Amino acid sequence: MTILDERPPTARAFTAILGRDLVVTGRELPSFLAQVLLQPLFMLFVFGKLLADLGYVGRGFGNILLPGIIALNAFIGGLQNTALPLTLDFSFSREIEDRLLSPLPTRLVAMEKIVFGTIRGVVAGVVMIPLGLVILPDTVLAPASLLPALAVMALGAFVGSAVGMVVGTAVSPRGINVVFTVVLTPLMFTGATQFPWPSLDRLPWFQIVCAVNPLTYVSEGMRAVMVPQIPHLPLWLCLLVLAVAGAVAAEAGMRGFGRRAVD
């Protein structure tokens, strides 16, 4: 009867489950990187480099675009990497069942998925910094902006991952394709990634639409720390909105997860 005397190994179980996800990601690194890098690389190249070289957009546009694309990659990276595997896990593969039968409260199994999605989102955002600087060599980033940028990225990826859990547990696998198009496309284009939010005051209705999108606060927060010379929302406001949005989405996502995990 040794096993009952011990306290439930919550911390060890959580670490083991996270460890499993990291081991699998490490093995599938090339396909993971291709998945998160190709689209933003082309966006940077076409909008930041090609259109600038052809004279259709101003030279300084790269300064606006790069922080936005990093924010987009971290946020969408977190969202996709949580939502897609979850829909599969709860329908076809059922691989998650072994973790649902581990001695870890179901909420913490859900929390692990959000943490893991956040890590993938941060990786997706971080690798964009050197690549962006190679594609857009004229970009001037604030020195010493790396650490605060990491913090904004992590918070952004966390919100994305939590939203991903809401989507992944609310949508059936048959509907996931449609939902991804219907949810992701507007999120990507109303998130102030390709334009600074304050400059939208000439288009107030669109400014309001963008203000509802949490991605806007990731993009603006990234600009606040990386290119402070460009008009942006105050950093404290971005962090506050992201913290609240993250907490609300995480709670909703964990509840959705609980409903799917236990009948």
- Please state the closest distance from residue 25 (CB atom) to other proteins, in A: 9
Of 14 and 217, the one with the shorter C-beta distance to other proteins is 14
Q: Does 99 bind other proteins (CB under 8 A)?
A: yes
Element (H, E) at 12: helix 10-27
Of 23 and 178, the one with the shorter C-beta distance to other proteins is 23
Of 59 and 94, the one with the shorter C-beta distance to other proteins is 94
Helices vs strands, H then E, count in the chain: 13, 0
Q: Which of 4, 54, 144, 212 binds other proteins (CB under 8 A)?
A: 4
What residues from 35 to 94 belong to the interface with other proteins (CB under 8 A)? Answer: 93-94
Q: Does 98 bind other proteins (CB under 8 A)?
A: yes
Of 13 and 70, the one with the shorter C-beta distance to other proteins is 13
CA atoms within 13 A on the CB side of 12: 5
Cα gap 172→147, rounded to integer Å = 38
CA atoms within 13 A on the CB side of 31: 5
Which of 22, 74, 68 shows the shortest CA–CA distance to 196? 68
Which of 248, 43, 49 shows the shortest CA–CA distance to 137? 49
Q: Does 234 bind other proteins (CB under 8 A)?
A: no
DSSP 27: H
What residues from 17 to 36 belong to the interface with other proteins (CB under 8 A)? Answer: 17, 19-20, 23-24, 27-28
Which of 19, 53, 31, 252 shows the shortest CA–CA distance to 137? 53
Q: Which of 30, 54, 55, 101 binds other proteins (CB under 8 A)?
A: 101
- Whether 139 contacts 66, CB under 8 Å: yes
Of 8 and 234, the one with the shorter C-beta distance to other proteins is 8
Tokens, residue 154? 């992590």
- Please state the closest distance from residue 243 (CB atom) to other proteins, in A: 29
Binding mask 242-261 for other proteins (x = CB under 8 A): -------------------x
Which of 57, 142, 40 shows the shortest CA–CA distance to 49? 57
Q: Which of 37, 57, 100, 141 binds other proteins (CB under 8 A)?
A: 100
Return residues touching other proteins (CB under 8 A). 3-4, 6, 8-9, 12-13, 16-17, 19-20, 23-24, 27-28, 93-95, 97-106, 261-263
